[in-house]
């Protein structure tokens, strides 16, 4: 027997078709008439443009939570800075760089190309005996803790630890260092520090014509008519004598 419960279950599972109206009428049940969607109802649905406007509403942007300005936190696995105490009071930057370079490559500033080290001073401008060193690799930090901690320099015992940065006072955006715009320059600077090849000196490379020597009147062409193999002997003798003054890449004999 077809009842209202049966039709409701059937419509929920298989949907509603127009052919089913006759069946419902024959069974004595009135079909549910679909109400036309009014223009007011259709107008209440937001369009894509209105949705985009709502998303870009400046009021909604202002309501979003903004992070308060503050100093960034250096993650422990990326911290390559070490803090050194117990330094001699008359230590220089060059001496400090020489000591810290024993454990690895010290990072350079991409703009000034100077080593990223710091010797702290008091209010009067005198060295306090502590300093900061920024390495290029994290492994250098562990090596510095192992080798330089409790080491002595000119009778002064050093203490090395991983640097910890703390905020003193309120945040001042003017004191924050500006980011280097040229990231490729910074990356090439680090690759240059990791390169073990010696730096090319100015004027070391010469033009091709400056590396070629012409020697004349070494032999007579008639010598090859009698013995063609003499050419090889002359070439080897010439190479042997020229190698006394430097590396020889090629020997050419024009007969």
Query: Where are the domains positioned within the chain?
Result: 1-31, 76-162, 205-255
Report which of residues 182 and 77 the model is more confident about: 77
Sequence-ordered strand ranges (E) for the chain = 81-85, 117-121, 127-134, 152-153, 156-157, 159-162
Whether the pLDDT of residue 221 is over 90: the answer is no
* Selection from 155, 162, 147 nearest residue 86 by Cα: 155
**What is residue 253's predicted lDDT score, i.e. its pLDDT?**
82
Token pair listed for 70: 């503050």
**What is residue 24's predicted lDDT score, i.e. its pLDDT?**
43
Average pLDDT, rounded, for the chain? 73
120-167 residue pLDDT tens: 999 998 999 999 999 988 899 999 999 999 999 999 999 999 988 765
**What is residue 38's predicted lDDT score, i.e. its pLDDT?**
43
How many percent of the chain have pLDDT more than 70? Answer: 56
Contact 87, 158 (CB under 8 A): yes
Whether the pLDDT of residue 196 is over 50: the answer is yes
Token pair listed for 66: 């903004």
* Selection from 111, 117, 112 nearest residue 144 by Cα: 117
Contact 112, 120 (CB under 8 A): no
170-184 residue pLDDT tens: 555 555 555 555 556
Q: What is the DSSP letter of 115?
A: B
- Farthest CA pair distance, the chain: 129
117: three-class secondary structure by DSSP: strand
d(CA 168, CA 117): 20
Q: How confident is the model at residue 216 (pLDDT cuts 50, 70, 90)?
A: confident
pTM: 0.44
Mean pLDDT of 55-69: 50
CATH architecture of 76-162: 2-Layer Sandwich (3.30)
Whether the pLDDT of residue 80 is over 80: the answer is yes
Whether the pLDDT of residue 50 is over 80: the answer is no
State the alpha helices, DSSP H only, in 20-163: 20-26, 39-44, 48-55, 58-63, 93-100, 139-147
């Amino acid at each position: 027997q077809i009842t209202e419960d049966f039709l409701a279950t059937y419509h929920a599972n298989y949907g509603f078709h127009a052919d089913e109206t006759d069946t419902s009428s024959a069974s004595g049940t009135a079909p549910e008439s679909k109400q036309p969607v009014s223009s007011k109802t259709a107008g209440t649905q937001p369009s894509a443009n209105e949705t985009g406007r709502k998303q870009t509403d400046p009021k909604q942007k202002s309501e979003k939570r903004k992070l308060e300005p503050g100093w960034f936190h250096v993650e422990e696995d990326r911290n390559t800075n070490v803090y050194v105490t117990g330094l001699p009071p008359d230590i220089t930057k060059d001496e400090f760089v020489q000591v810290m370079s024993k454990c690895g490559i010290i990072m350079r500033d991409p703009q000034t190309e100077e080593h990223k080290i710091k010797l702290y001073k008091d209010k009067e401008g005198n060295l306090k005996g502590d300093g900061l060193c920024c390495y290029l690799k994290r492994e250098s930090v562990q090596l510095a803790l192992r080798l330089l901690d409790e080491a002595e320099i000119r009778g002064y015992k050093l203490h090395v630890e991983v640097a910890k940065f703390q905020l003193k006072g309120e945040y001042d955006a003017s004191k924050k260092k500006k980011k280097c715009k040229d990231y490729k320059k910074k990356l090439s600077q680090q690759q240059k520090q990791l390169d073990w090849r010696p730096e090319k000196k100015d004027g070391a490379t010469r033009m091709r014509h400056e590396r070629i020597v012409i020697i004349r009147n070494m032999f007579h062409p008639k010598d090859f008519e009698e013995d063609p193999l003499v050419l090889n002997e002359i070439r080897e003798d010439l190479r042997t004598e020229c190698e006394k003054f430097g590396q020889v890449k090629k020997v050419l004999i024009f007969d």
